[in-house]
Structure 1
Amino acid sequence: MIEPSKLDDLILNGDDVKNLMVDFRLTINSTKSFDFDNPSSLDDDGYKTITGLNNFHDVLDHLTTMRNSNVRSVRVALAVFLAKMRLGLSNRVLACLFHLKSKRTVSRIFHQVREALMKSFVPLNLGFEHITRDAVLNSHQTVIATELLRNEPDRIVLIADGTYLYCQKSSNNEFQRRTYSNHKHRHLIKPMVITASVTKTKPSKPNPMPKPKTISKSKPMSKPKPKLQNQ
């Protein structure tokens, strides 16, 4: 019969209990629900759900003017910015999810990421100057837009669309008045996007119609003749 091992009695005083609770609190605070500093902590679906992008690392490579700080890394800063654009969460909620100090820290991150994107990402990927007219016609206009919406040759078909991006009530009175919507009864920004009828994948060739199968007339099977038994 196996006897259970004996446990030594543990005596804790007030300072030991206090230090134990402090260590426990630090452990809980350091445990993150999702860790963007670890590239393998999320799969592609996780990145798409939080940031709206499958190519998060491609956008991250453009932030060459940003540096890591003792508050956040460049990866976390970009993730906070994209999560705000994707989900429209409040700064207080984002600070809680990404384990940041306060909503003011989130506001500073927005400002830093926006400036970095304007310097290194926007000139190469957005605006009328980043691509030529011939490149749009030859590579970034779909066949459907060309055939249905173009009435003259060498015409570019553009698509303009806008959406609502809700924001918090600002302490700046002028910005507060400019962002308030009488239609939605909330503070919001309405960005407008103008783009070509671009598609990343090449149009696939239509599948040929399957040839009808010919049913060959088979000869009727002859019935086997009964065997005669000798009596």
Structure 2
Amino acid sequence: MGVCQQHLDENGMLIRQLMAGLRFVNRLYVIKGPQLLAFLQELRTVNNTEKWKYHDINKFTDEEFKYMCPTSKDQFRELYDYCEPVPREGGHDYVFKKDLLVFLCKLKQGLSNNFLTVIFDYSSRQSTSYVIAKVRKSLMQRFVPKNIGLQSITCQQYIEQYVTDFVN
């Protein structure tokens, strides 16, 4: 149950030309025990040899990134620049790109922390919850005050940008 290496790209994914020819068929399949075992063993092999590199957003095409995240890659990079270390007892917790991607994926998709734990390869649901909270705290330190809320804009800027001539 393998895939010919000539049909895979450098990231171990099916090449785009083949993807275009795939069709979705909605029908029930029954997988017997030995077939399921072989399938799961193949998944384990792929997982062990080709770990996803979520910390490098360049591994994703723009289209793939759009499906996961509510931002473009450029917006993601800009938002990541706002992520500052979160103070904690005994030091700081740093936000990594993978952490921000999990946070944004959670916002866009509304996926459970259990599911995010599996697809982003965290050790437990608690660690995934911790990462999401850490990113939220980090963004609250600098991004939110500068970009959201009353303190992000002066009264004069608000009048110039949002108050219509009719209201005046």
TM bin (shorter chain) = 0.5 to 0.7
Question: What's the TM-score once normalised by structure 2's chain length?
Answer: 0.61
Aligned to 1:29: 48
Q: Does the CA contact (< 8 Å) of 2:113 and 2:129 recur in 1?
A: yes
Q: Relative to 1, partners in 2 of residues 1:102 and 1:30: Cα closer, same or farther, differing over 3 Å? A: farther
Is 1:76 equivalent to 2:98 in the alignment?
yes
RMSD: 2.6
- TM alignment of 1:127-166, pairs within 5 A: 127-138=149-160, 140-141=161-162, 146=164, 150=166, 152-153=167-168
Q: Does the CA contact (< 8 Å) of 2:80 and 2:97 recur in 1?
A: yes
2:71 to 24, 33, 53: 53
Which residue identity does 2:82 align to in structure 1?
H
Which residue identity does 2:63 align to in structure 1?
D
- TM alignment of 1:200-211, pairs within 5 A: none
Task: Please state how far the C-alpha of 1:48 moved relative to its aligned partner.
Answer: 2.5
Higher helix share: 2
- TM alignment of 1:51-200, pairs within 5 A: 51-54=69-72, 55-65=75-85, 74-138=96-160, 140-141=161-162, 146=164, 150=166, 152-153=167-168
Runs (4+) off by over 4 Å:
24-27, 66-69
Question: Which moved further from structure 2: 38-47 or 94-103?
Answer: 38-47
Task: Please state how far the C-alpha of 1:110 moved relative to its aligned partner.
Answer: 1.3
Q: How many residues matched?
A: 119
Task: Please state how far the C-alpha of 1:29 moved relative to its aligned partner.
Answer: 3.4
Q: Does the CA contact (< 8 Å) of 2:56 and 2:97 recur in 1?
A: no
Question: What's the TM-score once normalised by structure 1's chain length?
Answer: 0.45
| CA distance in 2 between partners of 1:76 and 1:114 (Å) | 14
| CA distance in 2 between partners of 1:46 and 1:68 (Å) | 29
| CA distance in 1 between partners of 2:131 and 2:68 (Å) | 17
Is 1:44 equivalent to 2:25 in the alignment?
no
Aligned to 1:170: none
Higher strand share: 1
Q: Relative to 1, partners in 2 of residues 1:30 and 1:128: Cα closer, same or farther, differing over 3 Å? A: farther
